Copies of this chain bind each other. A is one copy, B any other.
C-alpha cells in the first residue's frame, strides 16, 4: 500500500485547548518513544487548533517532509472535533459512514451499557478508502490512509485510548507492512546532585568521540539526564556494519560516562527514581514510611504511582502543623522551639518518629520552606532537610534549591528519594 521505507515521522496534535492552555500534549511523548523502538525517528511535532483549514496546512507540510504522519485528537463527538473532516478535505477523500466503524462504536457503547446518540454516530464517518482502526479503549475509531507516498494515521486524543490503539492495532500493522527494522539504539542515564554545567564539564571531552551518536544533556527538577541516540538506518552508510559499529561505540561511551558520573546516576532508560527504589525495597524485603512537611504528600504520591507499591509503602503522613508533628511523630516541642521546624534536628526526629510508630524498616522525612513566603535570611525559601531513619541510625541531608513552589516541592521530593537510594546499598539491612 505505502512505501515500505518509513524512516521519518511527524506527529500532529490537534486541539485548540493545546494552543490556548488547559492541556499539554502528552501523547506525542510515548508515540515518539514507541516509534524509536521501531527505528522510526520523529523529527518534528506540530500542534494545531480545531480549524479545518489549519489542520490541512500542517498535514500538507508534514507529508512533504515525513514518511509517516500521526495525528492525535479531534475525533470526539462534539462540534469542535474536526480532524476527520480536515483530513478528508486535504486528501480529497470524502467522508463515508463505514459499517466497520459503526459496529465498533455500538459494541464499545454496549459494553458500558449505552447506545449511540446521533452525534456519536458521526464518529463512524471516515475518509473513503481509509482503513478503520477500532478503538479498544474508547468509542471514536481511528483510521489510516496513504497520501502522497506518505502513511497518515489518525488516533483519538485521550491518552490511554491513543496508547492502546497505537500499541494493539497500529504497531502490528506497521510491523506486518514494513517488516521489522533495526530500532534506534537509545541510552538514557539519569543523574541527581550535579548541575547541567558540572555534568557537561565532566563529559565534554567524550562528546567528540562518538560522531555517529547524538548526545543530549537535559536539566529538569528531577536531575540532569544524558541521552545517547544512534539511528540504525542513517548510520555508517555502507551496509549492516554501520549500526553494529555504532552500537559498540555507544556501549563504550556509556561505560565511560558511568565512570565519570559514578554515584550520581540513579537510573537508566525509562526507569524513574520511584521505580528504582521500589524494586530495591522489594528485592530486599524492606518497608518504608514517610513523614512529609514541605513536600506535602508528593513523595508518597510518586511512590504509590508504581503498581505494587502497597507492598513496601506502609504509610505516609503529611505534617504541616507543629501540632501534627508532635502528635503523629512524637517530635518534641523543645526541638521545634530551639531549632525550628525546618532543621536537621527536626528532620531526624520526624524520620525516627515515623519509623518507630509505623514499625517499618525505614522512615523518611522532609521538612523545608517551599515558598513563596515563610523564608528568612537564616532560613531562605528552598532550604530543605531530609532525614532517613534506619536500624543502623539516622542520616540527615541539607539541600538548598532555587525556583518556585512547585519546582522546590518536586526537587525536594527527588532529593529525599535520592538519600534513600544512596544509603540503601551500604547502610541499610533488613531487621538491623
A residues with CB within 8 A of B = 15-26, 28-30, 32-33, 36, 42-50, 54, 57-58, 61, 65, 76-80, 112, 117, 119-120, 158-160, 186, 188, 196-197, 200-201, 204, 207, 214-220, 225, 227, 229, 270, 290, 292, 295-301, 303-305, 307-310, 313-321, 323-324, 327-328, 357-358, 371-373, 402-407, 409
Q: Which residues of B contact A47 (CB under 8 A)?
A: 28, 44-47
Interface secondary structure of A, over-half rule: mixed
Q: Are A373 and B307 in contact (CB under 8 A)?
A: yes
- Knowing A16-B214, A320-B314 are in contact, say whether A79-B207 is a contact too (CB < 8 A): yes
CB < 8 Å neighbour of A29 from B24, B216, B305 = B24
A4 to chain B, nearest CB (A): 23
A308 to chain B, nearest CB (A): 8
What's the Cα separation between A79 and B270 when bound, in Å?
23
Q: Are A78 and B200 in contact (CB under 8 A)?
A: yes
- Knowing A47-B45, A119-B197, A160-B407 are in contact, say whether A315-B304 is a contact too (CB < 8 A): no
Q: Are A310 and B321 in contact (CB under 8 A)?
A: yes
Most B C-beta atoms less than 10 A away, residue of A197, A219, A405: A197
Q: Which residues of B contact A204 (CB under 8 A)?
A: 79, 119
CB < 8 Å neighbour of A216 from B17, B218, B297 = B17
CB < 8 Å neighbour of A358 from B30, B158, B324 = B324
Show 27 A/B contacts (Cβ-Cβ < 8 Å), sorted by A. A15-B216, A19-B28, A19-B42, A21-B30, A21-B33, A22-B29, A22-B218, A23-B218, A24-B24, A43-B48, A44-B54, A46-B47, A61-B61, A78-B217, A79-B207, A79-B215, A80-B214, A159-B407, A160-B403, A160-B407, A297-B304, A297-B318, A300-B318, A308-B373, A315-B318, A316-B318, A327-B357
- Knowing A29-B24, A204-B79, A296-B300 are in contact, say whether A371-B219 is a contact too (CB < 8 A): no
Q: Are B23 and A220 in contact (CB under 8 A)?
A: yes
